[in-house]
């Protein structure tokens, strides 16, 4: 039931806005209707779920409007009840994606608003997922809604911004009772169904291919397991097959974008039975394609790793030397390439240095273990 309710949210918000509610008021009313649905539907499910949500949300909106005595003008404008009958079949999901990714919003606010308005999550669920107090998240969402209130339904949206927001949601992963990675996949599936843009399919393929490896990424007590050490028998082959099929359809359009290129790299990793059997030469070629689309220094850093695998660690170090040493993960990558080149002493020191600047506990612990492991190898060589 929860899944059905959440899928109906964008359409219901759109209908209220078309009837005269501003976005903020419509979204609030729909959230109240959702709470009511979760309370009553298990015992008394409606025959027309969408019509029920529209009717309850519209009543909630009217009640709120009538209580705002200082806004009598708006009250009079919406006081006439809509004509009875079936609700329109218009799907406003795509518009809501663009609206929630409005350029005036910060990435964090855009993500939160997308989860509320398009994902149908409650403020408490979003706050729990982000490990912040519910009041803090409520304020963030309220500010975001105020900023976009008044934006018209016919304003064009920026698809690139929408995709960035969805990828941000995906990369939040799992926390609390909301699996944000799975939620991002669900939302991206909706977007892919509403548009034939190959980059949307590329992002969906990328998410599926990454998500397929999720079970093998961590060990006991949340211990980080790098790609080379992952148990590939635990990868979800159905998700991999689906991701590859979606990617192939997107690439056939011949309008390459950065998400398609990233998905192609992920597909090559998924296709290999081990790190040593990975087609690193082709991965480097895809990174070259990606660099033509984006000058991201992170892409250049990842390319240096791939060069090190394809052409040897010295070639990887040469590629790395062209980059800014202050880049995140630069020190860890240099440590890895130095270890592979046989410079164990410097590698151990750099692993330890990288651990001190790690942004999360699993990464810090992993790099600390790598430093200890290489030091042990060094002692063994000296012994």
Q: Return the closest-CA partner of residue 115 out of 184, 17, 28.
A: 184
What CA–CA distance (Å, rounded) separates 142 from 137?
Answer: 9
Q: Which two tokens stand for residue 259?
A: 């998400």
Instruction: Tell me which residue has tokens 């309008």.
Output: 255
Structural contact between residues 129 and 176, judged by C-beta atoms closer than 8 angstroms: yes
What CA–CA distance (Å, rounded) separates 127 from 136?
Answer: 8
Residue 110's Cβ-count burial label (10 Å; 0-12, 13-18, 19+) is buried
| DSSP code per residue over 317-344 | HHHHTTS-TTSTTHHHHHHHHHHHHT-H
Q: Which residues contact 275 (CB under 8 A, 6 or more apart)?
A: 227, 228, 309
H, E, C per residue of 219-266: CHHHCECCHHHCCHHHCCHHHHHHHHHHHHHHHHCCCCCHHHHHHHHH
Instruction: Tell me which residue has tokens 């998410």.
Output: 207
What CA–CA distance (Å, rounded) separates 246 from 236?
Answer: 16
What CA–CA distance (Å, rounded) separates 350 from 336?
Answer: 9
Q: Determine phi and psi for 177, rounding to 5 degrees.
A: -95, 5
Beta bridge partners of 218: 224
What are the sequence ranges of the domains in the chain? 4-78, 335-383
Residue 359's Cβ-count burial label (10 Å; 0-12, 13-18, 19+) is exposed
Q: Which residues contact 267 (CB under 8 A, 6 or more apart)?
A: 205, 209, 240, 243, 244, 247
Q: Can you give the pLDDT at residue 327?
A: 92
Q: Which residues contact 30 (CB under 8 A, 6 or more apart)?
A: 9, 12, 13, 16, 53, 57
C-alpha to C-alpha distances, 97 to 15, 153, 165, nearest whole angstrom: 15, 12, 9
Residue 342's Cβ-count burial label (10 Å; 0-12, 13-18, 19+) is exposed
pLDDT tens per residue, the chain (383 residues)? Answer: 667 777 788 888 888 888 888 888 888 898 888 888 888 888 888 889 889 999 999 999 888 887 764 444 544 444 444 444 455 445 566 778 888 888 888 888 888 888 888 877 788 888 877 778 999 999 999 988 888 877 665 554 678 888 988 898 888 765 445 678 888 898 899 889 888 999 999 999 999 999 999 999 988 888 899 999 999 999 999 999 999 999 999 999 999 999 999 999 999 999 999 988 999 999 999 999 999 999 899 999 999 999 999 999 999 999 999 999 999 899 999 999 999 999 999 999 999 999 999 988 889 999 999 999 999 998 876 65
Q: Can you give the pLDDT at residue 92?
A: 62
Q: Which two tokens stand for residue 350?
A: 């750099």
Q: Return the closest-CA partner of residue 332 out of 368, 361, 279, 378.
A: 368
What CA–CA distance (Å, rounded) separates 315 from 302?
Answer: 13
Structural contact between residues 101 and 151, judged by C-beta atoms closer than 8 angstroms: no
Q: Which two tokens stand for residue 82?
A: 């809509």
């Amino acid at each position: 039931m929860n899944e059905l309710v959440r899928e109906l949210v964008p359409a219901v918000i759109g209908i209220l806005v078309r009837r005269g509610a501003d976005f903020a008021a419509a979204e609030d009313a729909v959230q109240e209707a959702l709470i009511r649905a979760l309370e009553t539907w298990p015992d008394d499910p409606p025959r027309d779920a969408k019509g029920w949500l529209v009717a309850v949300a519209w009543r909630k909106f009217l009640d709120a409007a009538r209580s705002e005595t200082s806004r009598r003008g708006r009250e009079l404008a919406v006081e006439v009840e809509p004509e009875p009958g079936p609700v329109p079949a218009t799907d406003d999901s795509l518009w809501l994606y663009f609206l929630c990714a409005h350029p005036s919003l910060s990435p964090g606010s855009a993500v939160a608003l997308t989860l509320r308005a398009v994902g149908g999550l409650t403020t408490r669920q979003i706050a729990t997922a982000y490990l912040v107090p519910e009041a803090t998240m409520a304020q963030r969402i309220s500010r975001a809604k105020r900023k976009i209130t008044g934006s018209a339904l016919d304003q064009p949206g920026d698809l690139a911004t929408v995709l960035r927001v969805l990828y941000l949601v995906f990369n939040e992963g799992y926390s609390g009772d909301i699996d944000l990675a799975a939620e991002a996949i669900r939302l991206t599936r909706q977007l892919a169904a509403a548009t034939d843009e190959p980059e949307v399919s590329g992002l969906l393929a990328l998410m599926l291919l990454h998500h397929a490896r999720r079970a093998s990424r961590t060990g006991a007590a949340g211990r980080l397991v790098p790609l080379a050490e992952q148990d590939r028998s635990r990868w979800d082959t159905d998700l991999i097959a689906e991701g590859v099929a979606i990617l192939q359809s997107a690439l056939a359009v011949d309008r390459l974008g950065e998400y398609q290129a990233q998905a192609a790299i992920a597909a090559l990793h998924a296709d290999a039975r081990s790190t040593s059997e990975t087609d690193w030469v082709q991965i480097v070629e895809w990174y070259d394609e990606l660099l033509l689309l984006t000058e991201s220094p992170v892409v250049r850093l990842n390319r240096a790793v791939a060069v090190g695998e394809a052409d040897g660690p010295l070639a990887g170090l040469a590629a790395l030397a062209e980059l800014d040493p202050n880049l995140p993960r630069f020190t860890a990558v240099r440590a890895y390439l130095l270890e592979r080149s046989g410079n164990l002493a410097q590698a151990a020191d750099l692993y330890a240095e990288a651990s001190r600047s790690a942004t999360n506990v699993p990464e810090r612990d992993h790099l600390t273990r790598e430093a200890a492991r290489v030091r042990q190898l060094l002692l063994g060589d000296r012994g």
